[in-house]
Structure 1
Amino acid sequence: MPIPAPNLYPPFNIIRLSHVVFGVTDLAASRAFYVDTLGLQVTDEDDRHIFLRAMEERGHHSVVLVKTPEANVRSLAFKLFDEGELDKAHDWFEAEGHSVEWVERPYQGRTLRTHDCFGMPIEFYFRMDRLEPIHQKYALYHGVKPLRIDHFNCFASDVDKAVEFYNRIGFRVTEYTEDEESGRLWAAWTHRKGGVHDIAFTNGLGPRLHHTAFWVPTPLNIIDLLDLMSTTGYVANIERGPGRHGISNAFFLYILDPDGHRIEIYCSDYQTVDPDLEAIRWDLKDPQRQTLWGAPAPRSWFEHGSRFQDVEPVASDMKATPIIAP
């Protein structure tokens, strides 16, 4: 199925991805990972929550850790252009038959909770408390020196369906993987903010969250993180990389937090600001698609993902298979 033409006039205006809410089983262990090891900054915490931001972020949080009996993902959140766009989003999702609810969220204004075409919980807001800039407080930089949240990648049982739905609300495809035999999409990268992606979709049991990515200054920060993790008890949490993707051209590393939530550390992709930019097509069997150089992805990278709260994932019927490390 060909990718749809860009929808330049969506029913409401999404600016970018905003934050992820992780359910974690051990708050202290998660704090040690995200704060002491990765280097995210704590903006508030209590006995059930930790709010975190990266070094360039002015919003109050880009990650929320919530203590829960079992690990899951509570929601993925997006920032809208202004307050009026919230009402447009509410009316659009309601007209499409999706559940809609106004919810209270700390440090945010009005927040709309709804779900996508697979039942994946998504939230929208306009106002979040602003904090003072810390990007020049170099004494605070440690770990991998994360600058900002960059994207989500989700498993989807039908990537064509995901692309069609998210195109309707304004996400534009930058790169995609097509199965030559069936003509169906194996994966797609879509954006709002002018990078390669705000949210991407990979074929598999879904919906599940494949990973959340953070942008770092240079590849050397990733090497420093590997040295740190390998000598502080986290060597088993290193899943894949370092390497460079063919898709996005990004230098990458994939690691797992104490509950198995996958985090990508990421730099060196490119801008996609022009609204008429042509998407780049990749064949599923191209060996440089997922890895321009470096070891192929392990089987866990295609099978392991974080489940969303109260959402039962569905298997894909697509039979095509990617290149998997032996």
Structure 2
Amino acid sequence: MTIDYREPVYDVAQLGHTELLTPDLEASARFFTEVYGLYRVEETADSVYLRAWGDEVLTSLKLTAAPQAGLGHVAWRAMSPQALDRRVAAIEAMGIEGRWTDGDIGHGKSFQFTAPGGHTMEVYFETEKYRAPDGEEPYLPNQPQKYRPHGVAVERIDHINLLVPDVHASRTFQQEALGFKPREILTPTPDTEVGAWLSLQTKAHDLALTREPAPTDGRLHHLAYEVTSREDVLKAADIFMENNVFVEFGPAKHSRTQGFFLYVYEPGGNRIEVFAGGIHIFSPDFETVYWNTEKGGRSTAWGVACPESFYNYATPSQT
């Protein structure tokens, strides 16, 4: 493989927040707060804004009422106002038309556009940090709030997986427009990419792109929040069991990223992951790892087989 030594771009810092659509806003909000362990921040007539206890920002998840489940938008936070302007210029130079918005609860103006693959994305910089109210101040000042775990008690937003018709084209756009670094790529044949795991800084991935199995675009595979340890993922399995939440896959260990995982469906229909661990990249000349198949015939690191639904189900559903 030819190593790509192009000058890295660090204008985009992190996955800032995500909007999920749900046909049952009340049930979805109840799942995310009472079972998944998020906190309500704000509410409007059609949306509920949530955060995890370790999120530094005011909100990392917006739930919006809609006829079907799926992704409303995914938002990437820039490093600075100047970095935001550079990324907008790069996006427009690639022939992508977008529009500026006045922002939303928790963040300022954003540039919103449709990425190759059909997903609505936005980039922004100005954000409102979370300030703990009286009585909720943390004992340790390097935490955003007092640790009062409930439900799964996920700590912070981690990554998102999107289905795209053309993985290579979508990956190339994310690299050139937003500065994503390709960490691992699944290529069954030299000319075919079916999966790509991309990160902005040192994480295993902030964004995964998986080939869309249906004749459509713009679909969500899953959204993931992080917990501290594998034991937390195992506890999450028990919590989901006790709350009659359908567990689709896991707990087990991914081959790519090496993260420990568990997948469930929230009441609106979106697939949600609990994620722990994963590799971290510290070398500035990290070489992209190419996979041409599942190692040794294993679909996961320890040989746990993926259910068919993991390959075929996404939101909005095509069935």
Aligned to 1:148, which of 153, 156, 169? 156
Aligned to 2:259, which of 237, 250, 264? 250
Q: What SS is found at the alignment partner of 2:194?
A: strand
Q: Does 271-280 or 284-293 show the bigger shift?
A: 284-293
Q: Does 201-210 or 24-33 show the bigger shift?
A: 201-210
Aligned to 1:231, which of 239, 242, 262? 242
Q: 1:283 to 1:61 in 2, by over 3 A?
A: same
Q: Give the whole-Å Cα distance in 1 for the aligned partners of 2:87 and 2:144.
A: 36
1:107 Cα offset (Å): 2.2
Aligned to 1:217, which of 211, 228, 244? 228
Aligned to 2:84, which of 80, 83, 86? 86
**TM-score with structure 1 setting the length:** 0.86
Q: Give the whole-Å Cα distance in 2 for the aligned partners of 1:226 and 1:97.
A: 45
Q: Give the whole-Å Cα distance in 2 for the aligned partners of 1:9 and 1:220.
A: 36
Aligned to 1:190, which of 189, 198, 217? 198
1:64 Cα offset (Å): 0.4
State the identity %: 26
Q: What SS is found at the alignment partner of 1:248?
A: coil
Q: Does 63-72 or 253-262 show the bigger shift?
A: 63-72
Q: 1:3 to 1:116 in 2, by over 3 A?
A: farther
* Structure 2 partner of 1:96: 94
Q: 1:138 to 1:114 in 2, by over 3 A?
A: same
What is the one-letter code of the residue matched to 1:242? P
Q: What SS is found at the alignment partner of 2:257?
A: helix
Contact in 2 for aligned 1:283/1:289 (Cα 8 Å): no
Matched, 1:270 2:269: no
Q: Give the whole-Å Cα distance in 2 for the aligned partners of 1:264 and 1:7.
A: 33
What is the one-letter code of the residue matched to 2:88? H
**TM-score with structure 2 setting the length:** 0.88
Q: Give the whole-Å Cα distance in 1 for the aligned partners of 2:145 and 2:262.
A: 26
Contact in 1 for aligned 2:154/2:225 (Cα 8 Å): yes
Matched, 1:109 2:101: no
1:273 Cα offset (Å): 3.1
Q: 1:120 to 1:38 in 2, by over 3 A?
A: same
Q: Report how many aligned residue pairs link the two structures.
A: 304
* Superimposed CA distance per residue, residues 12-57 of structure 1 (whole angstroms, 9 cap, x where no aligned partner): 7111111110111222101111010010111112332211111211
1:203 Cα offset (Å): 1.5
Q: What SS is found at the alignment partner of 1:93?
A: helix
* Structure 2 partner of 1:40: 38
* Structure 2 partner of 1:318: none
Contact in 1 for aligned 2:131/2:144 (Cα 8 Å): no
1:282 Cα offset (Å): 1.7
Q: Give the whole-Å Cα distance in 2 for the aligned partners of 1:41 and 1:266.
A: 19
Aligned to 1:29, which of 27, 30, 39? 27
Q: Give the whole-Å Cα distance in 2 for the aligned partners of 1:68 and 1:260.
A: 12
Q: Which residues of 2 match residues 110-129 of structure 1 at below 5 A?
A: 110-129=109-128
Q: What SS is found at the alignment partner of 1:247?
A: coil
What is the one-letter code of the residue matched to 2:16? S
* Structure 2 partner of 1:13: 11
Aligned to 1:62, which of 43, 60, 63? 60
1:274 Cα offset (Å): 2.5
